[in-house]
Amino acid sequence: MRRFRQIIITVCLIGSFFKCQLVNTQSDRLSVTVSILPLKEFINEVGGEKVAVDVMIPPGAFPHSYEPKPAQLRRLKDTDIFVKVGTPVEFEVNWMDKLVEINPQMHVIDASPGIELIGSEDHVDPHIWLSPKNAKKMVQSITRGLILTDSANSHYYLKNQENYLHRLDQLDDQISALLAHKTKSDFIVLHPSWSYFAHDYGLNQIGIEHEGKEPSARHLQSLIDEATMKAISTIFVSPQDNPENARTIANEISADIQTIDPLDGSYITNLTRVAQLLSDALK
pLDDT tens digit string along 170-218? 999 999 999 999 999 999 999 999 999 999 999 999 999 987 778 999 9
Last residue of a domain, one of 113, 148, 175: 175
- pLDDT for residue 16: 42
- pLDDT for residue 27: 59
- Within 10 angstroms of residue 99's Cβ, the number of other Cβ atoms is 23
Last residue of a domain, one of 156, 175, 194: 175
- pLDDT for residue 63: 81
Residue ranges making up the domain that contains 249: 182-281
- 235 domain-assigned: yes
Same domain? For 187 and 167 the reply is no
Concatenating the DSSP letter of every residue in 68-111 gives --HHHHHHHTT-SEEEE--S--HHHHHHHHHHHHH-TTSEEEES
Same domain? For 62 and 131 the reply is yes
Same domain? For 137 and 243 the reply is no
Residue 16 or residue 94, greater confidence:
94
Same domain? For 72 and 87 the reply is yes
- 1 domain-assigned: no
**Are 175 and 273 in contact, with CB atoms under 8 Å apart?**
no
How much of the chain exceeds pLDDT 70, in percent?
A: 90
Last residue of a domain, one of 175, 196, 229: 175
Same domain? For 51 and 189 the reply is no
- Across the range 61-69, mean pLDDT stands at 89
- Per-residue confidence band for 12, with pLDDT thresholds at 50, 70 and 90: very low
Same domain? For 12 and 144 the reply is yes
194 to 152, 203, 204, 218, 261: CA distances (angstroms): 38, 10, 9, 24, 10
Angle between helices 267-281 and 37-47 (to 10 degrees): 130
Instruction: Give the CATH number of the domain where residue 149 resides.
Output: 3.40.50.1980
Same domain? For 167 and 186 the reply is no
- Across the range 240-246, mean pLDDT stands at 91
DSSP, collapsed to helix, strand or coil, labels residue 270 as helix
- 260 domain-assigned: yes
- Per-residue confidence band for 5, with pLDDT thresholds at 50, 70 and 90: very low
Q: Give the model confidence (pLDDT) of 26-55 as tens digits.
A: 458 999 999 999 999 999 999 999 999 999
Same domain? For 156 and 265 the reply is no
- pLDDT for residue 161: 98
Report the number of distinct structural domains present in the chain.
2
- 254 domain-assigned: yes
- Per-residue confidence band for 241, with pLDDT thresholds at 50, 70 and 90: confident
- Across the range 139-163, mean pLDDT stands at 98
How does the average pLDDT of the chain come out, rounded?
91
- 78 domain-assigned: yes
4 pLDDT more than 50: no
Cα 260 to Cα 273: distance, rounded to the nearest angstrom: 8
Q: Which of 54-63, 219-228, 269-278 has the lowest average pLDDT?
A: 54-63
Same domain? For 27 and 115 the reply is yes
- pLDDT for residue 137: 98
pTM, entire model: 0.88
Element (H, E) at 32: strand 30-34
- 2 domain-assigned: no
Query: Where are the alpha helices (H) located in the chain, listed in sequence order?
Result: 2-27, 37-47, 70-76, 90-102, 132-149, 154-178, 195-200, 217-229, 244-253, 267-281
- 253 domain-assigned: yes
